[in-house]
Amino acid sequence: MNNVFGVYNPVKIHFGRGLIAETGRIAKKYSDSALIATGKNSMQKTGTLDRVTKSLKDAGVKPVVYDKITPNPTIKEIDEAAEIVRKNNIGMIIGLGGGSPLDAAKAIAVAAKDNIPVWNYLKTPADKALPVITIVSTSGTGSEVNRYSVMTNPETGEKPGFGYECMYPKEAVIDPEIMASMPPYVTATTGFDVFVHALEAFTGKAINAFSSAYCMQAFYLLKDNLLKAYNEPDNLDARGNMALASALAGLAIDISGVGIIHALEHPVSGNYPSVAHGAGLAALAVASMKYNLESRKRDFMLIAHHYGIKRAGKSDDEYAASLIEKIKEVLAALKLNITLKYLGVEKDKLAKISKEAFMTMGFAVQNNPAPIDEKEALRLLESSY
C-alpha cells in the first residue's frame, strides 16, 4: 500500500432511478447548447435519447445529436463531431450511452477547443476542454466518473487511453432504469469489466487507502449482483447495485490505474473492433490472474473473502488460488468462458498485440504487480488463445 499519493476527483455524481429527467436542469448551468454524443441504436430504440433531448429543450438548452459513435470509438468519429461543435459554437458535450459514447464525449470536448486532430493529444497535454456531462447506460467502464478516454486509430489498430485533468466530467447522471435494456451479452461483458477494474486497481502497484476502499465495496456489490443482473435483466435493485459497482471501480482506476489484462485487451479490441472490451478481458483474465497470483497472494485472499468464498480449512495458497476458480465459474455462468481464438483473433497477430500493449498501454504494464516483458506477455496471449 502506498504512503505517498494524491487523490482528486471533481465529478458531481447524481445517482437514482428516473434522474435522466433532470438532465436539462443540470446542463443549463453550463451552456445553452449541447452536443449529445451517442451510439447508433440503443438510446434511440429505448426512447432514452428522446427523453434526454426533451429534458434539455424544456430547460432551454438546444440539443444537437451526433449519433455515429461506434463501440470502441475511432478518432475519425471524434474529429468529425469536434468539427460540428466548433462550427456551431456548441457550449458543452453530453455523452449518452456506454463507455464508448462517454469516452468519445470527453475526447470531443478536448478536440473541439483547438482545430487539431484528437490523436495529437496523446503527446501534447490538454489543459482546456468544454464541460462534459455523462449519462451512462452500461455498468462497466467507470467512464462516467473518471477522466479517461479510450480511442482507436483504425489505420494502425492502436487503442490507447488518455486522460487529463480538464477531461473530468462536470457531472454524472447514473440512472439504473436506462440500464435495464442491456441485452445479456452487454450485461455480462460490461459487468465483467467492473470486476477487472477492481481487481487490477486493488492488486496494482499504485493502490492506496482510498482506491482500495472503493475496490472492496465494488467486490462486495459484484458478488451479489453481477449474476443477478445477468439472469434477471429487469431487476432494478441489481441494476442499481451494478451501476454503483461500476462507478466505484471507475473511481478506483482513476486513482490507481489498471494492469496487464487491460494492457493486453486494448490492442485486441483495437485490432478487432467487433470485440467487446469486456469479452477481450474475459478471454485474458484467467491466464493473467495465474501470472500475478504469486506476487499478490494476500490480495487474492482478501478479494476471495470479499467475494464471499468460504475459507473452510484451505491453506493460504489454496485460498488465494480459489479466487481464480471462482472467476472461472463466474465466466462460465456469464457464458464468457471464451478464448481469443473464439473472438476471431488471428494467431499470427499475437506478437503485434503484445508489442502494442507495451507501446500504447505502458502505464498499465508498469502498474502490473508482477514484472512482465514483451515475451512473457506474448506467452499470456498464447495461453489465452
Q: Collapse the DSSP code of 47 into the 3-class scheme (helix H, G, I; strand E, B; otherwise coil) and give the result.
A: coil
Residue (276 or 304) nearer to Mn ion, CB = 276
Residues that bind Mn ion (CB under 5 A): 193
What are the angstrom distances between the C-alpha of 187 and each of 95, 102, 116, 231? 19, 17, 36, 10
**What are the grid coordinates assigned to 225, written together?**
449482483
361 binds, among Mn ion, ligand NZQ, none (CB under 5 to 8 A by kind): none
Residues that bind ligand NZQ (CB under 6 A): 39-43, 46, 71-72, 97-100, 103, 137-138, 140-143, 146, 148, 150, 178-179, 181-182, 186, 190, 193, 262, 277-278
261 binds, among Mn ion, ligand NZQ, none (CB under 5 to 8 A by kind): none
| Smallest distance, Mn ion to C-beta of residue 193, A | 4
Long-range contacts: 363-366, Cβ < 8 Å, 24+? 363/257, 364/200, 364/257, 364/258, 364/259, 364/260, 364/262, 364/263, 365/259, 365/260, 365/263, 366/205
Q: Which helix (H) or strand (E) holds 143?
A: none
- Give the span between the Cα atoms of 232 and 225, in whole angstroms: 10
| Smallest distance, ligand NZQ to C-beta of residue 38, A | 6
| Smallest distance, Mn ion to C-beta of residue 4, A | 27
Q: Collapse the DSSP code of 141 into the 3-class scheme (helix H, G, I; strand E, B; otherwise coil) and give the result.
A: coil
- Share in percent of the chain as helix, strand, coil (round to 5): 55, 10, 35
143 binds, among Mn ion, ligand NZQ, none (CB under 5 to 8 A by kind): ligand NZQ
User: Read out DSSP for 322-363?
Assistant: HHHHHHHHHHHHTT----TTTTT--GGGHHHHHHHHHHH-HH
204 binds, among ligand NZQ, Mn ion, none (CB under 5 to 8 A by kind): none
| Contact present, 288 and 246 (Cβ < 8 Å) | no
Residue (188 or 321) nearer to Mn ion, CB = 188
| Smallest distance, ligand NZQ to C-beta of residue 99, A | 3
140 binds, among Mn ion, ligand NZQ, none (CB under 5 to 8 A by kind): ligand NZQ
Residue (92 or 281) nearer to Mn ion, CB = 281
| Smallest distance, Mn ion to C-beta of residue 385, A | 21
Residue (23 or 141) nearer to ligand NZQ, CB = 141
| Smallest distance, ligand NZQ to C-beta of residue 297, A | 25
